[in-house]
Amino acid sequence: MRVLIIEDELDIATNLYDHLEARGHSVDLARDGLSGLHLAVSESFDAIVLDLGLPGMGGLCVCKKLRQEVCSDVPVLVLTARDLLDDKLKAFECGADDYLVKPFALREVEARLDALVRRRCGRVTDRRVVVDDLIYDPATLAVQFEGRAVHLSRKCLRLLETLLSGPNRVFSRADLEHAAWGGEQPMSDSLRSHMHILRRALTGSSGLSPIENVHGVGYRIAKRSV
């Protein structure tokens, strides 16, 4: 997985970096909140390890901005020296997914990151996903829309899987490109043309598609039923 570490303490940052890289992950490091936020927004990561006590913009602020201003749903594991309940609750309020108090075991950081990424990708179970008239079976990769079978390319399936992992949630172009192309650099209009194909395949008899382009932000799959 691709991980961003935002941590100002050199020893901790280096240990984390070396451990995750030795385990085969691709790791980026930022030493303050602002450059961490900038990296998190401009590139695509599978997870972020975020220290709370950072110079300049603090970790809580970074997390809040990621969730509220950028609408990013990247899993965030917070690391901190603080072991107070209020601090933990504040981190969750700001959108953190998990919490580890220093000192921590490097293996535990990796295990928690793995769990967060698995959960985000909806790979915890192989149950069918149903959103209104759309049914997706992750075990067989079969897609049904308004009662008919829909055949999709591998990349379109990956895009659909990602959108279905959070109905109504807007996924950024970077998130979707990362899901479908991984580390490869897609052509500049590849995402748009694949989304066009996906929308056309999933357009109902009413002429409407549950897949929506959210102008300037990305795409989402709209769910009518509650």
Binding residues for Ca ion, per CB under 5 A? 8, 51, 53
CB 51, min distance to Ca ion, A? 4
- Say if residue 103 is preceded by a cis peptide, omega within 30 of 0: yes
Specify the residue, 55 or 182, whose C-beta has the smaller distance to Ca ion: 55
Among 13, 106, 91, CA closest to 52? 91
Specify the residue, 60 or 198, whose C-beta has the smaller distance to Ca ion: 60
Among 122, 124, 123, 116, CA closest to 97? 116
CB 54, min distance to Ca ion, A? 6
How does strand 98-101 pair with strand 2-6? unpaired
CB 40, min distance to Ca ion, A? 17
Specify the residue, 7 or 161, whose C-beta has the smaller distance to Ca ion: 7
Q: How far is CA 220 from the centre of its chain?
A: 13
How does strand 2-6 pair with strand 26-30? parallel
Specify the residue, 33 or 167, whose C-beta has the smaller distance to Ca ion: 33
Distance CA 40, CA 27 (A): 12
* The residue to which tokens 């928690």 are assigned: 112
When CB distances to Ca ion are compared, the closest residue is 53
CB 50, min distance to Ca ion, A? 10
Q: ∠ CA(27), CA(29), CA(35), 5° rounding?
A: 135
CB 55, min distance to Ca ion, A? 8
Specify the residue, 13 or 143, whose C-beta has the smaller distance to Ca ion: 13
Three-class SS state of 80: strand
